[in-house]
Amino acid sequence: MATSAAKSAAARVRELRKQIEHHNYRYHVLDDPEVSDAEYDRLLRELKALEEQYPDLVTVDSPTQRVGATPVSELQEVVHTRPMLSLDNAFADEDVVAFDRRVRERLEDVEQIEYSAEPKLDGLAISFRYESGRLVQAATRGDGLRGEDVTHNVRTIKAVPTVLRGSPPKLLEVRGEVFMLIAGFKAMNQRALERGERTFVNPRNAAAGSIRQLDPRLAADRPFDVFFYGVGETDGWKLPARHSEALQQLREWGLKVSPLLKIVQGAEGCLQYYREIGAKRASLPYEIDGVVYKVNRFVQQRDLGFVARAPRWAIAHKFPAHEENTVVKGVEFQVGRTGALTPVARLEPVFVGGVTVSNATLHNMDEVRRKDVRIGDTVVIRRAGDVIPEVVKVIVERRPKDAQEVELPSKCPVCGSAVEREEGEAVARCTGGLVCAAQRKEAIRHFAGRRALDIDGLGTKIIDQLVESDPPLVRSPADLYVLTAEQLAALDRMGEKSAENLVEAIEASKKHATLPRFLYALGIRDVGEATAAALGNHFGSLKELQGATEEQIQEVPDVGPVVAAHVYKFFQEKHNRDVIAALTRHVQLQSQARKAATGEGPLAGKTFVLTGSLDSMSRDEAGDRIAALGGKVAGSVSKKTSYVVAGAEAGSKLAKAQELGVEVLDEKKFLKLLESG
């Protein structure tokens, strides 16, 4: 017999699930959460604790059961009672016009067709079966008639409700696309790379690969999302007249529908939508490969019917492909700011992702070997969003007999200094340091960057001239501070007024230099903003840091032996010390960061990790404000982290924080904390 404690536990469990489901809906469907991640996690933790105490209360659709149930031994076949259709493709505007004409001809008498226009997600089509509002099965499309049961993995996806809201019908089978967010995909690949595991070529392959795994624990920590776009078998639901109305009803039941869905009129309306979404494509957090137009009225859909596996009432209008084949004509090596040599494939120009591409990065020699790229090879090039085009893979079948292997040059292509590759490192480097013009230009560009000393108006073209002039006007960042307006005005494309403005901007940079910014500006290998802030906060002054031993540098939170070695070595190099000495004759470092070192300030002893982007300030401003109150900023989340500040599109650091139970602050809370500080 249930004790009264067990009874009240059962009531509390019901209440918690209701609240969690409500917050899921606010977060995933409405994109308008009511509570912070931390509060949400507290509810989830409370539920978990109660379920541990009273195992009888656990149900399969409890929000706690998402994270990895037991693996299945094989994927079972699922027969789709209503076939899952695929879509015909349109590539050119004329294809869409012809589609619309065919539709009108078949429907006779209808002058203008109303379409529901939707982005076409590039993921994995899934059928979801809800019985009495509970998720009972999820299956892949397969060949459209038979798919595979992937319920165990789909249950781990937080955006897929396990229980529907309101009064859903007895049976509701819905279709949607499961996909990966680009940021999450990148973070996941980065982690895989760090662990020496295999990486995925693109978010689509990653989604498909993960959803068809046998062990749901693999899917559970992957950044999936979903949009529902169609209705399959139903029982107990009198469908509304239009597809768009059906989707609106799905939304009310808690199923996430694309917010970009729009009702448009005729081919003209479709084409306009295509252009609207095309303009948004690069800024969407997920990949789309086109848009879909669906005849909106169900009666018209029924009258049109389908041919083979595709409906006559819908068409996918594809965007230019992200991937194309082309030939590698040669491989050159670019020298970066830190001297890293990057192999770059020179390509037979090819139109991909909406632009003509003639170069693609090969990252490093390990990648060249791993992908076995040779000169003369036909390769797959990928360009997604605004990222640098890359070589995905070689089409080995098309390799010509005289294809040449790529060799790492022994001398820097820019300055002729020796090229060195450290044991166990993928990256080869020029040893020329500031002697190498490539590094000099990049070093100055980095130094003047917005997040470094922020010299407004010192662009690439000007830097090139300053470094290339004979004799060079600028050999190191310190030389910037002795430039005169006359010298600058003599440069190409520089008027007197802009020369004066630039001198002023250089002057201004002397004043807003904080120690963390300055350290970041130096461009020390592996010292990003977070590490620079940590070093600055720990040592409090440049002198202290310059005098520190490798061991002392390692004492800084989040600085490991490798970074410590780079920092130590940097300050040991005579030419670096000379440049710093020259710089500090001009630049006065503000002492705000000392507060942390002496344990002062309301945030003293607190370590922050920043992830995602904030609306009200840049990441470095956030870092500066934390430092000003005595707190520290670290680059990665650990048990020692006090807070993770999560902005929009927060990545793996947020997941890590949740895993470790570190308090997560959203922007509002973070601002409050700064203000109260």
Task: Provide, rounded to whole angstroms, the least separation between the CB of residue 118 and ligand 9MJ.
Answer: 4
Strands (DSSP E) found in 201-313: 224-235, 262-265, 288-295, 306-307, 310-311
Binding flags for ligand 9MJ, 263-292, as an x/- string (CB under 6 A): -----------------------------x
Residue among 314 and 502 whose Cβ is closer to ligand 9MJ:
314
Q: Rounded distance, CA 496 to CA 292, Å? A: 54
Residue span binding ligand 9MJ (CB under 6 A) among the ranges 117-125, 162-170, 508-516, 635-643 = 117-125
Q: What is the largest CA-CA distance in the chain?
A: 93
The DSSP output letter for 27 is I
Comparing CA positions, the residue from 380, 356, 364, 357 lying closest to residue 331 is 364
| Cβ–Cβ under 8 Å, residues 174 and 250 | yes
| Cβ–Cβ under 8 Å, residues 133 and 171 | no
Could you give the 3-state DSSP secondary structure of residue 90? strand
Residue 79: strand pairing partners:
146
Residue span binding ligand 9MJ (CB under 6 A) among the ranges 1-9, 118-126, 471-479, 482-490 = 118-126
Could you give the 3-state DSSP secondary structure of residue 379? strand
Q: Rounded distance, CA 499 to CA 485, Å? A: 5
Comparing CA positions, the residue from 274, 273, 234 lying closest to residue 255 is 234
Binding flags for ligand 9MJ, 138-177, as an x/- string (CB under 6 A): ---------------------------------------x
Task: Provide, rounded to whole angstroms, the least separation between the CB of residue 222 and ligand 9MJ.
Answer: 19
Q: Rounded distance, CA 624 to CA 632, Å? A: 9
118 binds ligand 9MJ (CB under 6 A): yes
Task: Provide, rounded to whole angstroms, the least separation between the CB of residue 269 and ligand 9MJ.
Answer: 17
Answer for which of 128, 224, 229, 319 binds ligand 9MJ (CB under 6 A) is 229
256 is catalytic: no
Residue among 87 and 430 whose Cβ is closer to ligand 9MJ:
87
Task: Provide, rounded to whole angstroms, the least separation between the CB of residue 284 and ligand 9MJ.
Answer: 12
* Side-chain half-sphere CA neighbours of 465 within 13 A: 12
Task: Provide, rounded to whole angstroms, the least separation between the CB of residue 235 and ligand 9MJ.
Answer: 21
Residue span binding ligand 9MJ (CB under 6 A) among the ranges 16-24, 116-124, 327-335, 433-441 = 116-124
What type of residue sits at position 566?
H
Residue span binding ligand 9MJ (CB under 6 A) among the ranges 94-102, 113-121, 380-388, 437-445 = 113-121
Residue among 125 and 535 whose Cβ is closer to ligand 9MJ:
125
Answer for which of 17, 66, 80, 120 binds ligand 9MJ (CB under 6 A) is 120
Residue among 314 and 593 whose Cβ is closer to ligand 9MJ:
314
Name all contacts of 417-422 with Cβ < 8 Å and 24+ positions apart: 419/341, 421/365
Task: Provide, rounded to whole angstroms, the least separation between the CB of residue 305 and ligand 9MJ.
Answer: 14
Answer for which of 133, 184, 223, 230 binds ligand 9MJ (CB under 6 A) is 230
Residue among 86 and 359 whose Cβ is closer to ligand 9MJ:
86
| Cβ–Cβ under 8 Å, residues 169 and 234 | yes
**Do strands 89-90 and 340-352 pair parallel, antiparallel, or not at all (unpaired)?**
unpaired
Answer for which of 16, 47, 57, 85 binds ligand 9MJ (CB under 6 A) is 85
CB within 8 Å of 541: residues ≥ 6 apart:
515, 589, 591, 594
| Residue 322: CB atoms within 10 Å | 20
20 binds ligand 9MJ (CB under 6 A): no
Residue tagged active-site, from 7, 18, 48, 120: 120
Binding flags for ligand 9MJ, 305-324, as an x/- string (CB under 6 A): ---------x----------
Supply 348's token pair: 């037979």
Task: Provide, rounded to whole angstroms, the least separation between the CB of residue 295 and ligand 9MJ.
Answer: 11
Number of chain residues interacting with ligand 9MJ (CB under 6 A): 10
Task: Provide, rounded to whole angstroms, the least separation between the CB of residue 226 and ligand 9MJ.
Answer: 10
Task: Provide, rounded to whole angstroms, the least separation between the CB of residue 218 and ligand 9MJ.
Answer: 23
Which backbone phi and psi does 378 adopt, to 5 degrees?
-90, 130
Q: Rounded distance, CA 413 to CA 417, Å? A: 8
601 binds ligand 9MJ (CB under 6 A): no
| Rg of the chain taking only CA atoms, in angstroms | 29
Residue 610: strand pairing partners:
645
Give the binding site for ligand 9MJ (CB under 6 A): 85, 87, 118, 120-121, 177, 229-230, 292, 314
Which residues are known catalytic residues?
A: 120
